[in-house]
Chains A and B, each alone.
Chain A
Amino acid sequence: MSTPSPIRLHKELSRIWDTAPGLGRLSAVNHTVLGKRFIITAFVFFTIGGLLAMLIRAQLATSKNAFVGPDIYNQIFTMHGTIMMFLFAIPMFEGFAIYLLPKMLGARDMAFPRMAAYCYWCYLFGGSILIAALLLGVAPDGGWFMYTPLNSKPYSPSINADIWLLGITFVEISALSAAIEIIVSILKLRAPGMTLNRMPIMAWYLLITAFMMLFGFPPLILASALLELERAFGLPFFDPTRGGDALLWQHLFWLFGHPEVYIIFLPAAGAISMMVPTFARHELIGYRTVILAIIAVAFLSFGLWVHHMFTVGIPHLALTFFSAASGLVAIPTAVQIFAWIATIANGRPKLDVPMLYLFGFFVIFIIGGLTGVMVAMVPFNLQAHDTHFVVAHLHYVLVGGFVFPMLAAAYYWLPHFTGKSSEHVLSRPAFWLIFVGFNLTFFLMHLTGLLGMPRRVSTYPLEAKWDWLNLLSSFGSFIMTIGFALFVIDVFLQMRFGTRFRRDPWTAKTLEWATPTPATSYAFASLPEISDRADRLEPAALGPKLARGEGYLGFTRNNWMETLGLDMMTARPTEVIVLPRPSFLPFWTGLATGAFVLCLLFKLYWLSLVPFAITIGLWFVWTLTTGGRTDMAPLDIGHGQSAPPHWQVERPPSWWAMLFAISGDAVMVTSLIFGSLFLIVVAPQWPPQAFATVSPWLLAAIVWGAIVAALAGRFALKQLLSGTAPLAGLSVAGVGHLVTLTAATIAISNMGTLTAHSQAAMLFALLAMAALHAFIGLLLIAYGFLRHFSGKLSALRSMDLRIGKLWHDATAVMVLACVVAALVLQFDLSSARLR
């Protein structure tokens, strides 16, 4: 295809890629728009969380303060933590990732634009439920980590805890989906020639972080579901009087909670790894070493969770595993820090505003890391746990390790967002106010904690002599707030009054600076061929070339939104990815999902089936515009090459998404199985008076149905590939899943009462998990039929059945695992326990 003139190319691409104004903005799926939305929304939540923090400091400024009573105070500190961790930190980095990744990687958008939009709406609606609760005075008040039995029904009877469980799960499922999208986008949607060893280091950070999210969030989602089941239906997972255990929650929560803080830190570290080379005017030293370090951090972070539980009564030997690992994680972190220092040493550094914030990061984060190693030592932890020392430590690492780099990143990429260069008049005073205010507030807290002040108290006695420390801390927090306010004003002024600048005011060497600034909706008019590491590029020269259409895909076709998909390892283009146009569907689906959550919240369970069905129906509607009705010849992509559209490839992006979703699912199933084993071995009140049982015939039927479905699914694919309609295969697979679903349902209803003991509750949970897998399998079978009858399937266009096959295979394995665990649960293994 011939390349039109640059102006014409820009006009055509804009016509296809731009989001409609006005109400049309609700239909946006563009990564630039969505990225900015995530960032701004996250910042709004940060402000709310910050205001809550000010209320905390106002209350704690003096002893015996009567500013707010304990009931309100408990809501305030719970919401402060919850908002900061779930509604600010994760979405903020998601926003950066969504905005920057395609531009850094040389793609026009993320892999699943509508999914990104859906994730945003779920985030907004879930967050709004929590804020509404705050305004109505029914916010969660059991601490941001929601320990049981405090948050079980008897001790938290009202709706507050349910709001946390349902609202946060809503947001977390959307975050998990975003993680899958990030992984697929990094692995498949890069510019041709950008092999993995040429990716900008930030992409490595985000890839590994997204994998951490994939493995770290399912335990929390599972735990929240179990706790909500306990609260709503009395299933005693965490109730020590009925065979549950309070500690099961803690294990599941911290299995998520510890990786969570590294999930928060690593993207910030990625941003630092992008900014330091620019300001040092030297490329990053130790590219490979840094990747090695991030891998180590990622894995180690999953082995630390019990360090939040050193005081619950676990044997010393077990504690040493976690203590050793907690100390070890400091080493790869130190390696990264020294890599940055080495980069500075080898370069000719320049002190600009972002670099100033990075200095702030170095100081604060290193202090936080050192106190972290201190609290990793068990004997010291036994004193410092649950005191303000920990509060000081966590703020030093989170604010130092996330907020300061994000502030630096804000200044660094602001010219890219706005296309204007900055006059940094207010920026330096803002920095100093924040830096000094922060240290004044939190440094003293180390001392306060060492003097014995516990966490989460709204008043403290005069005799403890903590008054002056708290007063100074509160004073510091006011200074910090003024600093943040100045930052906001500064950013606003720069957006309105900055001078227009062509591109790349920092003379950085990465690809995102080759797009026009502010970025066009299509990011790149044509896609580059990368032949060197992506932080050694010349955006000033590359940008105009790409705008002229000299790269790949420098034309428009069929009004399609196109980008290239690659082979993961060789980075050769293998498919043209046709992305879905802007659509209101994500918005409606988000609303429907929100309605479902609200029904559950208000215990309208029968009614909730309506929005549930609508949500599923809408997901089917999403698929109507995808794929093709005829087999196509490979499409021209420029430079004399061609590639098929993505639905004609063996492993398109959605196939990978299903693979990763299954991995996350596997973690959830494994957590459930480990949870039941945990209860058998550790929970009090075992064995139960009467064991709940399931007929072995039913269990066999459950497994058998899943295996039949898997085999039939494979057969259906074989039919399709050989040119026959896959009707027989799909039908038999559907029957298989139906058998599993029915057998599980019968088994559950035969169990009688589920609330007497956790053994019955766990049995139910395992059967329900099997049933859920079969149910989703049925949905995929229905999808297969839908695709066939709408003419979207052929031997060449088989991606839908391949995706189904992944699920059916995985279901067979998971169902088998659940059934084995269910069998084990019916035997009395706990009588042999000594303690």
Chain B
Amino acid sequence: MTRSSPLLTLAAGFTIWAIGFAVIYAVQGAGCAYGWDRIALGPISLLRWILGMLATGTAVCIYLTKRKLSNILAANARNEADHFLLSIATCAALIAIPTTLFTFAGILITTVCG
């Protein structure tokens, strides 16, 4: 780990959320423009599947990040400052998970393109 990356890890969980957000919103816009909501895959539309996968994927990535941070924290926190930052980083990643689920809950129940 380079010297400054504990600071970057503070942003890790939520950065994944933010990237996921941008991707999901962009895909939703493109999908509606190109009619992917009219292609049915079983009971729900292709677009809804894709968005659901993306949202789940985002949550999973954040969870994996959180686990990695927890491991580093347990094994490695040399000094007070590192421990401090890593513990905040781990917590931040942790709360990014329900944030993701809540933000994208609409994929389950709302009209995709209307």
Contact = CB atoms under 8 A, between A and B. Distances in A.
Say if the two chains contact directly (CB < 8 Å).
yes
Interface of A: 187, 195-198, 288, 291-292, 295-296, 298-300, 302-303, 315-318, 320-321, 323-325, 328, 567-571, 674, 677-678, 681-682, 832-835
B103 A325 contact: yes
Contacts of B35: 834-835
B53 interface: no
Given A296-B95, A320-B110, A569-B3, A288 B33 contact: no
Contacts of B33: 681-682, 833-835
Given A318-B25, A568-B3, A681 B114 contact: no
Contacts of A295: 10-11, 14, 88, 92
Contacts, number: 121
Give the one of B3, B91, B106 with max A CB within 10 A: B106
A299 B28 contact: no
A650 to B, nearest CB: 11
Contacts of B17: 299, 303
Interface string B45-72: 0000001000000000000000000000
Nearest to A677: B26
**Residue of A302, A303, A677 with most chain B CB atoms under a 10 A cut-off:** A303
Given A315-B112, A320-B105, A196 B18 contact: no
A832 B34 contact: yes
B30 A321 contact: no
Nearest to A830: B33
Contacts of A195: 79-81, 84
A315 B22 CA distance: 16
Contacts of B95: 292, 296
A325 B24 CA distance: 14
A317 B7 contact: no
A315 B80 contact: no
A834 B32 CA distance: 8
Interface residue SS majority, chain B: helix
A354 B96 CA distance: 35
A675 B109 CA distance: 29
A370 B68 CA distance: 37
A833 B85 CA distance: 47
From B25, B51, B112, residue with most partner A Cβ within 10 Å: B25
A321 B33 CA distance: 18
A296 B17 CA distance: 11
A321 to B, nearest CB: 6
A313 B70 CA distance: 43
A567 B7 CA distance: 12
Contacts of B105: 320, 324
Contacts of A292: 88, 91-92, 95
A320 B112 CA distance: 10
Contacts of A198: 81
Contacts of B111: 315-317
A256 B54 CA distance: 25
A263 B15 CA distance: 18
Contacts of A568: 3-4, 7
A316 B114 contact: yes
B107 interface: yes
A682 B88 contact: no
A571 B28 contact: no
B81 A303 contact: no
A525 B112 CA distance: 64
19 contacts: A195-B79, A195-B84, A291-B88, A295-B92, A299-B17, A315-B32, A315-B111, A316-B110, A317-B112, A318-B28, A321-B24, A321-B104, A321-B106, A567-B3, A569-B82, A674-B26, A681-B34, A832-B34, A834-B35
A832 B35 CA distance: 9
Contacts of A681: 29-30, 33-34
B57 to A, nearest CB: 16
B80 to A, nearest CB: 6
Given A299-B96, A300-B99, A677-B26, 15 more contacts: A187-B7, A195-B84, A288-B88, A292-B95, A295-B88, A296-B14, A303-B17, A303-B18, A315-B111, A316-B110, A320-B110, A324-B106, A569-B7, A674-B26, A681-B29
Given A295-B11, A321-B104, A324-B102, A197 B80 contact: yes
Contact of B84 (A197, A300, A678): A197
B102 A569 contact: no
Given A299-B17, A315-B112, A288 B87 contact: yes
A317 B107 contact: yes
B40 interface: no
A329 B29 CA distance: 24
A195 B7 CA distance: 12
B65 to A, nearest CB: 14
A236 B112 CA distance: 30
Contacts of B6: 569
A834 B35 CA distance: 6
Contacts of A682: 29, 33
B44 interface: no
Most buried by A among B21, B33, B114: B33
Contacts of B113: 315, 317
B34 A834 contact: yes
Given A299-B14, A677-B26, A833-B33, A317 B106 contact: yes
Contacts of A196: 7, 81, 84-85
Nearest to A315: B113
Nearest to B79: A570
B28 A317 contact: yes
A681 B26 CA distance: 10
Nearest to B21: A303
Nearest to B94: A292
Contacts of A299: 11, 14-15, 17-18, 96
A670 B110 CA distance: 29
B29 A318 contact: yes
Contacts of A316: 106, 110-111, 114
Contacts of A570: 79, 81
A316 B113 CA distance: 7
Contacts of B112: 315, 317
Contacts of B82: 569
A571 B28 CA distance: 46
Contact of B92 (A296, A323, A567, A677): A296
Contacts of A303: 17-18, 21, 103
Given A295-B92, A302-B18, A568-B7, A328 B99 contact: yes
Contacts of B34: 681, 832-834
Contacts of B7: 187, 196, 568-569
Closest 5 CB pairs of A and B: A320-B106, A197-B84, A195-B81, A299-B14, A834-B35
Name the residue in A198, A317, A328 with the highest tally of chain B Cβ atoms < 10 Å from its Cβ. A317
Contacts of B24: 321
A296 B11 CA distance: 9
B64 to A, nearest CB: 18
Contact of A317 (B11, B38, B102, B110): B110
Nearest to A656: B4
A288 B38 CA distance: 48
B101 to A, nearest CB: 10
Contacts of B103: 303, 321, 324-325, 328
Contacts of A323: 106
Contacts of B102: 324, 328
B3 to A, nearest CB: 6
Nearest to A302: B18
A288 B10 CA distance: 12
A711 to B, nearest CB: 23
B18 A835 contact: no
A196 B105 CA distance: 36
Contacts of B15: 299
Contacts of A567: 3
Interface centre among A296, A323, A571, A674 (most CB of B within 10 A): A296
A532 B26 CA distance: 47
A569 B4 contact: yes
